[in-house]
Amino acid sequence: MPAPPEGANPKWVRVFNSLHALFKALAEHEGMARNNQQTYDTPAIDKNAQYFSWDFTARTFNYLLRTDPDLDNRTEVEKEAWDDTCSRSRLITSLVLDEIPGRLADMVESTYPGYNPGGQPEMGPQVIEAARELSAAAYDATPSPV
């Protein structure tokens, strides 16, 4: 696992570690098995809920890496990237945890119409546990509205 930079704010580190854990849990999920056999930059075979969530989590991790890890003296662009990181983290965990039943399946189908006629594999305990931790980290890291 990549290590967060030294001196990083604890909230940044928690989001960093939680995003990475969810990314890893999704990548290792049985629903990604055929995709993991492909070469880099080849379109996914199974565009299912795990693939959608994995891709969304990876893109969210990239937003995080655009921020100053100490969370002090951030530019407006870094503040926006941090806010986007937290809101995207809350969204993907909401989808993975099925807080609005069927919403993830609807998003997968609208993004990849007809790509997964066999249905969606269950997320599994490792993914659920990682999503819960990311949800807690993202909510903890989000400043309260004033």
Mean pLDDT value across the chain: 89
The residue type found at 82 is W
More confident residue, 55 or 41: 55
45-56 residue pLDDT tens: 888 899 999 999
Q: What is the mean pLDDT of residues 121-142?
A: 93
- pLDDT > 70 in the chain, percent: 93
Per DSSP, the residues of 119-144 read ------HHHHHHHHHHHHHHHHHSPP
- Under 8 Å between Cβ of 52 and 117: no
pTM (2 d.p.): 0.90
